[in-house]
Amino acid sequence: MSVTITCYGGVNEIGGNKILLEDGDCRLFLDFGIAFGRQQQFFNEYLRPRVARGLLDLLLLGLIPPLEGLYRDDLAPPGLWERLRSHPHHRDLRRGLDCPAVDAILVSHAHLDHNGDLSYVDPRIPVYTHPVTAFIARAMQVTGQSGFERELTFISPRSPSASGELQADRKGSYQGRAHAFLAGGLSESAQEFWAQATATTKALQPAPAEAAMEAIAGLPIRWWPVDHSVPGAAGFAVQTSAGWIGYTGDLRFHGRQGERSRQFALQLAALRPVALLCEGTHTGAEEPLTEADVVANALALAEGAAGRLVVADFAPRNVERLFSFLEVARQTGRTLLIQPKDLYLLQAIALADAAAFPDPAALPGLALYADPKAAPRPWERALRQQWAGRTVKAADVSHDPGAYVLAFSLWDANDLLDLEGVAGGIYLYSNSRAYDEEQAADLERLRNWVRLMGLTMYGDPDDPQTVPLHASGHAPGQALAEFVQTVRPGMLIPVHTENPGWWERQLAGTGIAVRPPLLATGMAIS
């Protein structure tokens, strides 16, 4: 049998990983993420793929690969595949009504550049992932904007109207996406959360949600937890007829769970892999700030702002950073105020892995911020009722700003206008730098808000004199090189990087062959 790897994303770009591994009749995808760089060439916040045309826009723009049989039938407008069969990268993967085109999709973690395009995939194809990753995806879907672009864990089936436009059935049920959980089965309370309806008008028809098998279509798989900026991250290995093939997903060594990534390297090395697909986001980066450094720097700034408001701005699913600011709040005698969507996320991951994540209700120093909403959604109304006794309003913050650390971001900035007497406070920007013009424009908007409110910003990534407040979610180049040399694969396939040539220079003379992939071009592994 021949073993082939085909990268449909993550080639000369950061993110968008879609890696098809084929061994005989077995087909596995490693991640299925959004290629944000390519997507932003055509779309922005307001110009989006047309819901009524389903897969059409995405396929014609090359944002998802033209693999017939892989996707949801309900998102294919009439005549779609007849039109695409002349596409140079078209492949018909269809196996039949009772056998999906792909045996499984192994999802490394809950960042959209690794799982975001699952929305379009046949929901019968099981997603192998850590329960925390699945529950984060569920929380993102429930609390985020609705629409066919974010149907990560359940779908709203559509059908064509008389004129051919795709429309959701308002009276039918949501359909769950099949999942297989790497760390075993779910607790009873987690099962209830996973199966519950998410709206008052439509029920959720659950799909299989089981403990992952140790083999998929006869191919043994292994997985390891790794350190990353989102909990639940994992690396994988698949035993093929050519030997073991490893995949890092995204990883680092300088977070609180850095030892996990080091153990991944040692245990993957013991398998003597013939090939390793490795990320290279920050190949040129220097020694990074650690999470302990973030806590120390933020703590010093918060201590210097006694009696004044502290605002903490960090990525929405960076739970480690949230706990870092909770520690800062506790050590300075403050309460950390979080948004409803953040509280919902904490509840979800606590259900997914109660041994590692406490119920947020048991966390002292944490409270819900009552941001004004004209019409809260059902999940948010329930949350506000549950936390009615631990809710803080804008008037409370205005009365005693020195008592709080307020978890805000640009998307919450207009709620700052409800606050009075907070001038002189500090704004701790604990995020990465802007990676494109749109993000740079957002950062400038944020600076405008901070200045308007009379706050002082720290952690601005464009200010070389600022106090640094962000620990990257990715390993720097030297740590990646050491990781690969520890694993010692026969072949290194660089993905999730804009600089694949860096690997050839780093691994010269090591005996590890570097084979940069070509987009949508099969690579034989022997």
Least-confidence region, from 112-116, 260-264, 300-304, 433-437: 433-437
- Asked whether residue 325 falls in the same domain as residue 232, the answer is no
- Asked whether residue 275 falls in the same domain as residue 295, the answer is no
Render pLDDT for 490-521 as a digit per residue (tens, 0 to 9).
999 999 999 999 999 999 999 999 999 999 99
CA dist 6 and 18 (Å) reads 8
Helix ranges restricted to H, 79-187: 80-84, 112-115, 131-143
Q: Give the number of domains in the chain.
A: 2
CATH value at residue 195? 3.60.15.10
Say if 431 falls within a structural domain. Answer: yes
- DSSP letters, 37-72, are HHHTTT--SSS---GGGTTHHHHHTTSS--EETSB-
Q: Please, what sign has the CA dihedral across residues 197, 49, 104, 516?
A: negative
- Asked whether residue 379 falls in the same domain as residue 319, the answer is yes
CA dist 380 and 198 (Å) reads 11
Least-confidence region, from 17-26, 198-207, 338-347, 502-511: 198-207
pLDDT at residue 162 above 90?
no
Q: Return the H-helix or E-strand segment holding 261.
A: helix 258-270
- Asked whether residue 451 falls in the same domain as residue 506, the answer is no
Token pair 């099969």 in the structure block, residue = 522
Mean pLDDT over the full length of the chain:
94
Say if 258 falls within a structural domain. Answer: yes
- Asked whether residue 302 falls in the same domain as residue 263, the answer is no
Tell me the average pLDDT across 298-320.
96
- Asked whether residue 449 falls in the same domain as residue 511, the answer is no
Predicted local distance difference test score (pLDDT) of residue 375: 84
Domain limit, last residue, from 428, 458, 488? 458
- Asked whether residue 16 falls in the same domain as residue 98, the answer is yes
- Asked whether residue 408 falls in the same domain as residue 499, the answer is no
CA dist 490 and 360 (Å) reads 45
pLDDT at residue 461 above 70?
yes
Question: Which token pair is 487?
Answer: 């694993």
Say if 464 falls within a structural domain. Answer: no
- Asked whether residue 99 falls in the same domain as residue 181, the answer is yes
Tell me the average pLDDT across 471-477.
95
pLDDT at residue 172 above 90?
no
Say if 470 falls within a structural domain. Answer: no
Say if 203 falls within a structural domain. Answer: yes
CATH value at residue 304? 3.40.50.10710
CA dist 211 and 223 (Å) reads 13
Question: What does the CA dihedral 111, 115, 119, 124 come to, rounded to 10 degrees?
Answer: -140
Tell me the average pLDDT across 319-337.
98
Tell me the average pLDDT across 386-400.
97
Domain that includes residue 308, residue range: 291-458
Domain limit, last residue, from 402, 433, 458? 458
CA dist 462 and 439 (Å) reads 12
Q: Please, what sign has the CA dihedral across residues 328, 294, 253, 21?
A: positive
Q: How confident is the model at residue 106 (pLDDT cuts 50, 70, 90)?
A: very high
Say if 375 falls within a structural domain. Answer: yes
- Asked whether residue 230 falls in the same domain as residue 355, the answer is no
Q: For the chain, what percent of residues have pLDDT higher than 90?
A: 86
Classify burial at 174, counting beta carbons within 10 Å of its beta carbon; exposed 0-12, middle 13-18, buried 19 or more: buried
pLDDT at residue 200 above 70?
no
Predicted local distance difference test score (pLDDT) of residue 171: 80
Say if 467 falls within a structural domain. Answer: no
Q: How confident is the model at residue 320 (pLDDT cuts 50, 70, 90)?
A: very high
Tell me the average pLDDT across 229-238.
97
Say if 469 falls within a structural domain. Answer: no
Q: For the chain, what percent of residues have pLDDT higher than 70?
A: 99
Least-confidence region, from 6-10, 17-21, 373-377, 461-465: 373-377
Predicted local distance difference test score (pLDDT) of residue 374: 80
- Asked whether residue 280 falls in the same domain as residue 302, the answer is no
- Asked whether residue 330 falls in the same domain as residue 347, the answer is yes
Backbone angles phi, psi at 236, to 5 degrees: -130, 160
Tell me the average pLDDT across 420-447.
92
pLDDT at residue 197 above 70?
no
Cβ-proximal residues to 175 (8 Å cutoff; 6+ apart), any chain = 123, 154, 155, 156, 157, 205, 207
Least-confidence region, from 43-57, 76-90, 357-371, 428-442: 428-442
Tell me the average pLDDT across 209-217.
93
* Closest of 99, 210, 204, 106 to residue 157, by C-alpha: 204
